[in-house]
Every structure is written in C-alpha cells, then in structure tokens.
Chains A and B, each alone.
Chain A
Amino acid sequence: MTFLKSITGAAIAAAMLLTAPGAKADEQHFPLQSYRVGPYAAGGTGFFGGFIDYLNLINTRDGGVNGVKLTWSEGETQYEVEKGVEVYERLKSNPGIAAWNPLSVGIAYAMIDRITKDKVPLITINHGRTDSTDGRVFPYVFPLLLNPYSETSGIVNYIASKEGGLEKLKGKKIVVLYHGSPYGKETIPIYQLLAEKYGFAVSQIEVPHPGNEQQAQWLQIRRERPDFVVLRGWGVMNPAALKTAQKVGFPATKIIGNVWSNSEEDVLPAGEAAIGYTAITTQASGEQYPVVQEIKKVVYDAAKGNLEDKSRIGSVYHNLGIVNGILNVEAVRIAQEKFGHRTLSGDEVRWGFEHLQLDPTRVAALGAKGLFHSINVTWNNHEGDGYVTFQQWDGKKWNVVSDWIAPDWALLRPIIEKSSEAYAAEKGIKIRTAEEAGSLASN
C-alpha cells in the first residue's frame, strides 16, 4: 500500500516535472450539474462519481491530457430544471469550459439555446433530444452513443435475435409499459413503425407518474398474454413494475428494460422479483475492465475516489460515468491534435466531438474493451452509431447475455431529419453544411 502510494506519488511528481514548462499550467474545465440528493440521487452519485473518477485518473496517471489538467466544479440540481439553469448561469463564466454533461433531459432542453449561443458542447449521453442527432441543425448538442429511437430499434433487434431472426417477429405480441411523461411517450411512433415493418403486434400502456401503483396495468398485460414486455420506466416505476409483474405471475425473464430502467437501483428494491430481468445498455457493468481496475488502483487506493460506497464501483451508472469520461477526454485529445496542446475553447472541443471516432482497437487501447463497443461521431451524426448490449440480473449483479447489437440507424435517420428540419424551420435556424462544421465559429 505504502509502496504503491510512493510509486504513484513519484509518478505524479515526474508527470508534474515533465508537463509544467510554463508558469501557469493549462487547464480544461468541466462544470457539473450533478444531483446527489432527491429522487434520482442514486443515478446522479453513480454517474458523476464515475465521470469525476475518470478525470481524476487522467490527472493522476497521465498528468492531464497532454499536460492540460482537467478540473471540475459541481452544482447540485436535484434533477430540477430551474436549479440546473441556475448552476449553468453560475458556472458558465468559469475559464476553459470543455463541455456540459447534465444527465437530465429537462435540464438539457433548457440549455440548448444557451449553449448554442455560448458555443459550448452539450453532451447528453444515452438520452436527450432524439433529433439533436442531426448535427446540421444542432451543432453543439451530442446525444452520444444512443438516442431514444436507436434504443427502441436495439430492443426490437434483440427480441428478434432471441426469437431467431427479424422474420420470426411476425405474429408476436409486445407490450410497451411506459412512464406517463414526455420521455415515456417519445418512442410510441417508433414502436408502431417497427411493428408495421416486422409484422408484430404492439400494445402500449401508460403508467402515470410516479408509477408506484401498477396493478391495473399488469392485469391488462396478463390478459393480453404478450411474448415480451418492454419496460420504459423511470425511478420508482421500475422496481414497482417488477414487483407487480411477480404479483400477477408474469415472468421477469420476459421483461426487457430500456436505458432508464437498467441500473442496480432499478432492480435492487424489487428483490427476488427482479431475477431474470433483462435490460439494454451501451456500457457493460462490472469492474473487470482494465480502465475500471486502474481507477480502483490509482484513484480509490489513494483515497481519492468519488463514490462513498466502494461496492458501487463498476455499477451501471458508475460505468456510464466512466465511459462518459472517456468520450469527453478523447474529444479533448482529438481537438488538441488539431488546435494544439493547450486550453481549448468550447467551439474547438465541439470540433473534437465531431471527430470523435474510436474504433474497437482504440477502445481496447483505452482499457475499455468490452465496456463499450465503439463510437463514430461525424459533423452531421452526433450520436455516433453506438452499439448496445443486454444484461440480465441474477439477483446480485448484471451479466451480459447478448452480443453487441446494432440498431437500424438507416431506418431512423429520415424520421430524425424530418423532426430536426421542422425544428430548424420553427426556430429560423440555417441548416449547417460540412464546410461550416469544419471551421470554427467566427467569434
């Protein structure tokens, strides 16, 4: 332990010597609108914990990104939109801001106009506004890895793979149980579309917020006898759904959760009722991946870890935070190769995100092989074609039960473009071209 400490100490000292040529070191800043209290605290502590842990790892192990230190500051939002706006206004004048990562759909929406004006990227990994995938209309918004439409397609493709192919979906019956909110309703037309395309029957049932009572819905489900139930839940609705499914005798193995229903916090409260439940994810959980091991060694063993409860290392949200850290840091690194090893402006980091292309080889080099598949962001595709995988809960931990699955991006793209072009027309936004994306904004 002491030996390790002294080694890391020496490494830090060496790194500092190597990377501190001038008087004032360059810094890149990440303002965090975190939520560590309130109804969604469990997700917030995991995600922001993982993000901070990764930034800490880069600082401690590598002395920052090419010598540029990563810094961050936190403001508590409790997942409330107006607190998020307050934190944005408070922190936006911090120097050297790289990107914003709110992990809240509501806050992200309220920020779109603001960050577009301030020319700083807004990262909404795995969530956010679907049509912001279209970089022609939303130059500064990045729903990295997975937007809600791709998630829908990914889930249907997974069900098809379980049934033995897309053509086997014909005549099957799927029930979507969704949260009674704009978020929950967002994918209704996509399930309809896929049902028509592949010939399965879909019936979509709403659970009113907060979702702590679902008796009526599950009795309906039992009567319909579907082959699968897709759970598009949020917060307490998820464990309540699993509990109620058990109550009406519907097997958990036939329930598939979406990205907001895929964490330990969603299944733990349901106890044994959750065993066998499967959920989609863009990042596998577990701590066996090299980068997570390094975080354990370099950050947690030096007592600098962000999670209070070490058993949550490698949990779904913690790993999502780590992957989010990797994507942010690599975008900065890519932008630095073009603009120089120094503090970058928000617009320069935006360029970095628009060239964030990490193939599986690069992902493995970053110590994240198996943690997530790859990403391929371009100037007009801000999602970056993320792959999904599925994990099954065994009562103690999640186990990967599928290959990496590709959503049907080509099918979804026209729908997304239609929506984003309508938005551009409504707001009077000029649709961006590749040349404009390649250069920096003038001021």
Chain B
Amino acid sequence: MDHNDLLFLVEVLVGGLLSGVMYSLVAIGFVLIYKTSGVLNFAQGAMLLFAALTFVSLVERGVPFVLALLLTFAVMVALGFAIERTVLRPLVNRSPMTLFMATLGLSYIIEGAAQLVWGTQVHALDIGIDDVPFELGGILISTFDLVAAAIAATMVLALSAFFYWTRTGIAFRAVADDQFAALAIGLRLQRIWATVWTAAGLVALVAGLLWGARLGVQFSLSLVVLKALPVLVLGGFDSILGAIVGGLIVGAGEKLAEVYIGPYFGGGIESWFAYVLALLFLLVRPSGLFGKRLVERV
C-alpha cells in the first residue's frame, strides 16, 4: 500500500467517523426515551422532520434566526407534553411492543401534521456554517462535519450535566434505574416523562437542523432514523455512550466497507451493511456494547 492509498484510507475513515457522529445525534434521541420509559420511539424521525420544517418555515417567513430557534423549541416542548398526556399516560404499564406501535402511529400524525401546516415544498436550510473542505496533512476534511461534531459533543455534555446536577436529571436517572422504586419514593413519573420527551425534542431539533443543512429540509429527512437503528443495536438501546461509540463504529465501518468491500459485490452495500454488522456483533454480545443485560426471571 503506497502513501496515497494510505492517505485515502485515512480520509475514508475520518469521513466515516464524522458521518457516524451524525448518526449518533439521531440515536441519542432514541436512547433518552428508551432509558426512562422503555419505548423505542419510532417517531423520532418524524419529530426531527417536524422541528426542521418548523424552523425553516419560520425563518423563511422572516423570523430572526434566534427567535425562530426559540419558537421551534417551544413547539417541541409543547409537543413533548402533548405526547406524554395523550399517548404515554393512557398506555402506562403496557407492553413495549404496544408502545412501539403507538409511536409508529405517532409518526404518522406528526409527519401528516408537519406537511399539512408547512406544505410539502423542499427547503434549503442555511445555518451559517460554510461547507468548504480544508486540507490537513493531505487529507480533506469537511468543515461542516467538524462543526456538527462539535455541536453534537456540546449537546451531549450539556445533557450529561443536566442529568448529573439538576434535580430533574437525578430523578430521571432514578426512573431509568428502577421505575417502581422511583415511584415508591414519590417521584412524579409523568413529569419526568414529559421532560424526557422535551429533551428528545431538543435533540430532534439539533439533529434536524444539522441534517437539514446537509440534505435540505424535506420529507425524506424522517428516513434518517433508519441510519440510527443499527447504531442503537450496536451500542445498546439504553446507553448514551453506546449511541456515540456505536455511531462512530457504524459510520466508519460502512464507509470502509463501501469503498473496500463494496466493489466485490458491485457496490451499494451501505443500505444493509450496518445492520449486518450490528447483527454479527449482537451474536457475541446480545444486548449491545453498553446495554443493560437482561435478567431472566421465572
């Protein structure tokens, strides 16, 4: 392997890792909700689309950037509370599968509502990050992806801080550890759920803006959940750290596979490679990298 090939390998690897951060960003939204309520929230993609669409429509109507951000966040908070009130509360103590189905229904509602309110047009979203690549030791790196990774890191830090040092955050961890014990000591489950959905809404907003800036804001934005699912399997559904590491592995793995293994199959293997990778990995560790082990009781 000569020098150029090596450079290319590094370039693919770096590009893959940075893409992986974008997957993690979506996956974190899932983890937050799964951890506290055991729901695999399929509507996360719809929420992401809804947030991005709301934001871009506001900006296009002349609302200043920061105000639009705040307004969209307010809408996501309202959405989080509404979901808790109308969907989660009546379904308390139901099987995880029922809840999963409910979120499928929810994604229909949110997607429909988003397009009903804001229309089906495609939008360009400029969040002020120039996407010009720069060179570092012969490797081309995307500024945008780097900034996105920084934003993602900031968000993860902020979330961690929130969960470690605020009352609500500590309550959140209590619920995640043991729902019944948390209830027994008098924590208000409903408020915590609403908060968690709000937090997931915030993650959806950030992910929606970054993905929206990458792809444009349109219906297909909700499809990015399909990129997040193998990340979740790999990292474990209930671990934020898992979502990050899983995202990096999936991102780097699928890019390397597409470039180096893909040609033997005629290319285009990215659509399933991440799933197969996750699957093989699961055969070794059935609950992901950092997921909680299931304890079987009879």
Q: Determine whether A and B are in direct contact in the complex, meaning some CB atoms lie less than 8 angstroms apart.
A: yes
* A residues adjacent to B (C-beta < 8 A): 36-39, 41-42, 45, 180, 205-210, 212-213, 215-217, 219-220, 222-223, 235-236, 239-240, 243, 246-249, 265, 268-271, 273, 308-309
Interface of B is mostly: helix
Tell me whether A265 and B15 are in contact (CB under 8 A).
no
- Pairwise interchain contact A180-B217, C-beta atoms closer than 8 A: no
CB under 8 Å from chain A, chain B span 13-36: 15-16, 19
Chain A residues in 8 Å Cβ range of B259: 216, 219-220
- Cα–Cα distance between A206 and B270 once the two chains are bound (Å): 10
A217 touches B258 (CB 8 A): yes
Q: How far is the CB of A30 from chain B (nearest CB, A)?
A: 22
Are A208 and B19 interface neighbours, CB within 8 A? no
| Chain A: CB-nearest residue to B112 | A37
Contact pick for A219, options B15, B211, B269, CB 8 Å: B15
In Å, the complex CA distance between A235 and B122 comes to 10
Q: How long is the Cα–Cα vector from A360 to B16 in the complex, in angstroms?
A: 52
Cα(A207)–Cα(B144), bound, Å: 22
Chain A residues with Cβ under 8 A from B140's Cβ?
222, 248-249
Most buried by A among B16, B115, B121, B227: B121
The verdict on B57 contacting chain A, using a C-beta distance below 8 Å, is no
Which residues of chain B are within 8 angstroms of A41 by Cβ–Cβ distance? 115, 120, 219
Interface centre among B15, B115, B123 (most CB of A within 10 A): B15
12 pairs, CB–CB < 8 Å, chain A vs chain B: A212-B227, A216-B15, A219-B12, A239-B215, A240-B215, A243-B215, A246-B132, A265-B218, A268-B122, A268-B216, A269-B215, A271-B216
The docked-state distance in angstroms from the alpha carbon of A205 to that of B223 is 22
Contact partners of B144 in chain A: CB under 8 A: 247
Task: Provide the B74-102 mask, 1 if CB < 8 A to any CB of A, else 0.
Answer: 00000000000000000000000000000
Q: Mark B212-252, 1 if CB is under 8 A from A, else 0.
A: 00111111110110010000000000000000000000000
Residues of B within 8 A of A39 (CB): 218-220
In the bound complex, how far is the Cα of B43 from the Cα of A170, in angstroms?
52
Which residues of chain A are within 8 angstroms of B133 by Cβ–Cβ distance?
246-249
Interface membership of B131, Cβ < 8 A:
yes
- Among B142, B218, B255, the one with the most A-chain Cβ atoms within 10 Å of its Cβ is B218
Inter-subunit contact B216/A239 (CB<8 Å):
yes
Chain B minimum-CB-distance residue to A44: B120
- Please report the total number of B residues contacting A with Cβ < 8 Å: 45
Contact B124 A243 (CB under 8 A): no
**CB of B180 closer than 8 Å to a CB of A:** no
Residues of B within 8 A of A309 (CB): 121
B268 within 8 A of A: yes
Complexed CA–CA distance, A156 and B126 (Å):
34
Nearest chain A CB to B112 CB, angstrom units: 8
Chain B residues positioned under 8 Å from A246 (CB to CB):
131-133
B255 partner, pick from A36, A216, A223, A273, beta carbons under 8 A: A216
- How far is it, in angstroms, between the C-alpha of A206 and the C-alpha of B273 when the chains are bound? 14
- Kindly state the separation between the CA atoms of A240 and B216 in the bound complex, as whole angstroms: 8
C-alpha gap A209/B217 in the complex (Å): 17
Minimum CB–CB distance from A243 to chain B (whole Å) comes to 6
Q: Please give, as numbers and ranges, the residues of chain B lying within 8 Å of A220 by CB-CB distance.
A: 259
Contact B122 A216 (CB under 8 A): no
Residue of A nearest to B119 (CB): A308
List, in ascending order, chain B residues with CB within 8 A of A236's CB: 215-216, 218, 220-221, 223
Nearest chain B CB to A393's CB is how many angstroms away? 12
Supposing A212-B224, A215-B15 touch, asked if A269 and B219 sit within 8 A by C-beta, the answer is no
Residues of A contacting B142 in the complex (Cβ-Cβ under 8 angstroms):
247-248
Known pairs A42-B121, A219-B12, A243-B214; list 9 more (Cβ under 8 Å): A41-B115, A216-B258, A216-B259, A216-B270, A236-B220, A239-B216, A247-B142, A269-B215, A270-B216
Inter-chain contact A208/B269, CB cutoff 8 Å: yes
Are B123's CB and A269's CB within 8 A? yes
Q: Report the bound CA distance from A39 to B145 in whole Å.
A: 26
Partner of B131, one of A205, A273, A308: A273
Are A219 and B8 within 8 A (Cβ)?
A: yes
Partner of A271, one of B124, B266, B267, B268: B124
The residue from A36, A215, A265, A308 contacting B19, defined by CB atoms under 8 A apart: A215
The reply to whether A269 and B218 form a contact with Cβ atoms under 8 Å apart is yes
Docked-complex contact A212 and B215, CB < 8 angstroms: yes
CB neighbours of B217 from chain A (8 A)? 269
Q: How far, in Å, is A317 (CB) from chain B's closest CB?
A: 12
Determine whether B160 belongs to the interface, using a CB cutoff of 8 Å to chain A: no
Q: Which residues of B contact A268 (CB under 8 A)?
A: 122-124, 216
Q: Which chain B residues lie closer than 8 Å to A265 at the CB level? A: 121-122, 218
B271: Cβ under 8 A from any A Cβ: yes
- Shortest B276–chain A CB gap in Å is 13
Of chain A, the residue at the smallest CB distance from B211 is A212
Q: Known A212-B224, A219-B15, A249-B140; judge A42-B120 contact (CB<8 A).
A: yes
